Structure 1
Amino acid sequence: MDLRKLKTLIDLVSESNISELEITEAEGKVRIVKADPRASAGGTMTMAMAAPVAMAPVVAQPTAEAVAAAAAAALPAVDPGHAIKSPMVGTFYRASSPGAKPLAEIGQSVKEGEAVCIIEAMKIMNEIEADRSGTITKVMAENGQAVEFGQPLFIIE
């Protein structure tokens, strides 16, 4: 990035209400941060320039056992029978569209592989299928409710 462009960016930041500006280009990355006027008397500006570097955020990953234990502790006791559990985090819908007939109702027989509900995750509608045949005895989630991974959605016998 040439110095004229850099000076123009610095002037833009200093004259505007923004406190920080970051621009990434092929040659590198420029970050201009306006100093907090309350922190120093002189209202100075700092600038950092770095070569492009791919950095992954460091996030502590809990073990599968810890996640399962926390999920089991947070969920209500499951009724006897087999639970069809949510395979993902998302929004639970009983029908394929508003006003449509629910895919599965209490007392309805379902076959393994038959769609019983829809979970919306990241704007994608995912049909959730029964993992075994049986009769729906209880619906464990409300329509439009957010569901967690492993949360029971239906009880079948």
Structure 2
Amino acid sequence: MSPIDFSDPATIAFLTDALTAAGVAGLEIARPDGQIRIVVSGEGGARIGSSEATARASGSAPAVVKAPLAGYFCAEHPAAAATLQTLPRSVSDDDILGFVRVGHILLPLRAGRSGVLTRLLAEPGALVGFGDPLFEIELPS
């Protein structure tokens, strides 16, 4: 039996749908290379969490926010107006910069660091893989 690829958006969407249909409240899978948690709630749909949501750079290099799982990159909430916010712009560590969409699930991408958001590294709507760089944040000196 081959191992399950938890970075595949189709696998995550299938698991989420199966958990919802079975009435299961959630699932957590931990492996040496990471962890995934899917929590199904009655209101607001399912939430997907990962142990590696953002990568933090050390020193004076910019911080890079990476995709926590494979899915479709959304620079803005799909229900928001179609105009993207201008760059560069200041962000705080809790700011939501964008989303990764897997099926009908949106996983928010938090900045994880305060600084200046300088670059968008992926095209909105593009299929991104686990660990792909999405945003670049210049840290204060």
Q: TM-score, normalised by structure 2?
A: 0.53
Matched, 1:123 2:66: no
The 1-side partners of 2:88 and 2:132 are apart by 21
Q: Structure 2: which 5+ residue stretches go unaligned?
A: 6-31, 34-60
- Structure 1 segments, 4+ long, off by >2 Å, are 60-64, 97-102
Percent sequence identity over aligned pairs: 29
Q: More strand by proportion, 1 or 2?
A: 2
Q: Give 1:118's aligned amino acid.
A: F
Residue 122 to residue 97, structure 1, CA distance change in 2 (3 Å): closer
List aligned pairs for 1:41-120, cutoff 5 A: 58-60=1-3, 64=33, 80-97=61-78, 99-102=81-84, 105-120=86-101
Bigger Rg over Cα: 1
Matched, 1:149 2:92: no
Q: Give 2:118's aligned amino acid.
A: T
Matched, 1:138 2:81: no
Residue 147 to residue 110, structure 1, CA distance change in 2 (3 Å): same
Q: 1:138 is paired with a residue of what secondary structure?
A: strand
Residue 106 to residue 113, structure 1, CA distance change in 2 (3 Å): same
Residue 127 to residue 61, structure 1, CA distance change in 2 (3 Å): closer
Q: What's the CA shift for 1:83?
A: 0.2
Q: What's the CA shift for 1:105?
A: 3.9
The 1-side partners of 2:89 and 2:119 are apart by 10
Instruction: Kindly report the root-mean-square deviation, in angstroms, between the aligned alpha carbons of the 2 structures.
Output: 2.4
Q: What's the CA shift for 1:122?
A: 2.8
Q: Structure 1: which 5+ residue stretches go unaligned?
A: 1-57, 65-79
Q: What's the CA shift for 1:60?
A: 4.3
Alpha-carbon displacement from aligned partner over 1:130-157 (angstroms, at most 9, x marks no partner): 1111101111000100111111100101
Tell me the matched-pair count.
Answer: 85
Alpha-carbon displacement from aligned partner over 1:23-42 (angstroms, at most 9, x marks no partner): xxxxxxxxxxxxxxxxxxxx
